[in-house]
Structure 1
Amino acid sequence: MPRLIDERSTVFRAAVAAAPSLEVQVPTCPDWTLFDLVQHLGEGRRAWAATIAAGPDATAKSAPQGAPAAPREREVLLAWSTASTQELLDALREAGPDRGCWTWWGKSQSPQTCGAAARRQLHEIAVHTYDAQLTLGASQPLPDEVALDGVEEFLSTICTTTVAWPHEPAAVDYHATEGRSWRNWVSDDGARAARLPTAGTMPAADEDLDVADASARGTANELVLALHGRIPLDSLKLDGNRRLFDQLTAWDPER
């Protein structure tokens, strides 16, 4: 995971370096300029580095002590961004993936570990790299390795909870054209997700794996971008009860 974090961060900075100005608006984050996006990503990585370093007994996200403000001059800003990423990587390598860590997703299926925090960091950086590239009019698909894991991470971290689903129980499938599928179950018990045995096929003997109430199909890159609200869900191939996708998007259970 640190390797991929470093790689996506490098691609992010390359997009920033190529931009005509740091004051251009980011289409997918309309309240932010490109400078704001760099500042957000850098400050966030420093905060997570401090949180990881605080250890498993921390009860809240930590604030980095003595962190310099994001500078306005581009070359200095890029160096500041590089240092922000390095603080996160150093903290992750020092802690190791299995050590406990405070996270905001305590009611989800994702564990409260440094490994899970690293995974969340990777996918936040990856999506913001897309944002930066889009600002230049030169967006690139996420690498398959990142995109496939990104779908699974989003479903397990963002889309699972022990909070009761306020509608009729349902099952929603997500199919990546690369050959991987996942299911999200929602009910009075909350929401849970799992990777299906093979793309689009389910053992008939398992009552939990009957035909889904709704499904979405696209490349892993398209699924990730749709889940993160970067492209419309309608850009995917949707089948079944499409209202379920609106309900899932609107649902914001306390985590």
Structure 2
Amino acid sequence: MHNALGFSDLLRLIDERSAAFRAAIAAAPSLDVQVPTCPEWTLADLAWHIGERRQVWAATVAAGPADARATPDVVPMPEDRDAVVAWLADSTRALLDALAEAGPDRGCWVGWTKSQSPATCGAVARHQVQEIAVHTYDAQLTVGAPQPLPEEVAVDGVDEFLFTCNATTEPWPYEPAVLEYHVTEGLFWALHFSSEGARAERLTAPGEADMVATASAGDLVLTMYDRVGLDVLEIRGDARVLDRLVEWIPG
């Protein structure tokens, strides 16, 4: 059974993945190079996104329960490479300090209202691990040194994506179906699709499903965020279920 990471683990992983992101930025021959997995962005754009969003999320967490994401005055990104790296570190520290001050159970604006994930600072921290981890992969790929997602990040990332990004109360527009994900680390999940939406479930063992997709947790997370193709998955059953999920955009 999947054991969710503790709050201190989430803060540690945000810090670690952010350091890995900064290392890729520092190693890049130029920040003007295009990011293959975000082709509309250069590395400079990606760095801005990481730093600016961490500042916004720091302010949002600090604001406590609210109806909207905070809109702080963001410290602009400098041009000098060393200064960019320092600015990224400061932005991450602001987020980590805000999360540590708030704690995991305090309410927070999250942006997801129909999923199975709560509107808490703990849920924000959990999602932030995945955002920085995937963008670190983007940066590493851009500089020619992509690294697999750390196993603890990847395993929790499958669970987090299913419960936060896939789960919804929006009606599934096709016939009811069950999609199972099996990861080679020995864990299992199911997505149940119906007129009541999509419901994620953790499994203790494989069940009965219309389709089963198997991969390592790291590869699965990267498919979920459209970083690698679906051909890394071993698929059994009705592949239309996954195709429909990929095309489905709940309102």
Shift of 1:195: 1.2
Shift of 1:245: 1.3
Aligned pair partner of 1:6 in 8, 12, 15: 15
Shift of 1:127: 0.2
Question: Aligned equivalents of 1:28 and 1:76: distance in 2?
Answer: 25
Aligned pair partner of 1:143 in 142, 150, 161: 150
Partner of 1:182: 189
Question: Aligned equivalents of 2:245 and 2:77: distance in 1?
Answer: 36
What's the C-alpha RMSD, in Å, of the aligned pairs? 0.8
Question: Aligned equivalents of 1:39 and 1:242: distance in 2?
Answer: 38
Unaligned runs of 5+ in 2: 1-9
**Aligned to 1:158, what secondary structure does the other structure show?**
helix
Unaligned runs of 5+ in 1: 203-210
The answer on 1:38 being equivalent to 2:38 is no
Partner of 2:227: 230
Partner of 2:64: 55
Question: Aligned equivalents of 2:75 and 2:23: distance in 1?
Answer: 22
Question: Aligned equivalents of 2:119 and 2:190: distance in 1?
Answer: 22
Question: Aligned equivalents of 2:213 and 2:81: distance in 1?
Answer: 40
Residues paired across the two proteins, number: 242
The answer on 1:78 being equivalent to 2:85 is yes
CA offset digits 1:164-186 (Å, max 9, x no partner) = 11111100011110101110111
Question: Aligned equivalents of 1:38 and 1:215: distance in 2?
Answer: 36
The code of the aligned residue for 2:71 comes to A
**Aligned to 1:186, what secondary structure does the other structure show?**
strand
Q: Counterparts in 2 of 1:112-127, with a 5 A limit?
A: 112-127=119-134
Question: Aligned equivalents of 2:249 and 2:234: distance in 1?
Answer: 24
The code of the aligned residue for 2:37 comes to T
Shift of 1:73: 1.2
Shift of 1:70: 1.0
TM-score by length of 2: 0.95
Question: Aligned equivalents of 2:50 and 2:201: distance in 1?
Answer: 29
**Aligned to 1:109, what secondary structure does the other structure show?**
coil
Shift of 1:253: 1.0
CA offset digits 1:22-58 (Å, max 9, x no partner) = 01110000000001001001111111111111111x1
Question: Aligned equivalents of 1:191 and 1:108: distance in 2?
Answer: 9
Question: Aligned equivalents of 1:17 and 1:221: distance in 2?
Answer: 24
TM-score by length of 1: 0.93
Partner of 2:29: 20
Question: Aligned equivalents of 1:188 and 1:72: distance in 2?
Answer: 51
The percent of aligned pairs where both chains have the same amino acid is 59
Question: Aligned equivalents of 1:164 and 1:74: distance in 2?
Answer: 47
Question: Aligned equivalents of 1:164 and 1:235: distance in 2?
Answer: 29
The code of the aligned residue for 1:62 comes to A
Shift of 1:111: 0.4
Aligned pair partner of 2:101 in 74, 87, 94: 94
The code of the aligned residue for 1:43 comes to E
CA offset digits 1:90-138 (Å, max 9, x no partner) = 1100100000001111110000000000101110000000000000111
Question: Aligned equivalents of 2:76 and 2:143: distance in 1?
Answer: 25
Question: Aligned equivalents of 2:199 and 2:143: distance in 1?
Answer: 37
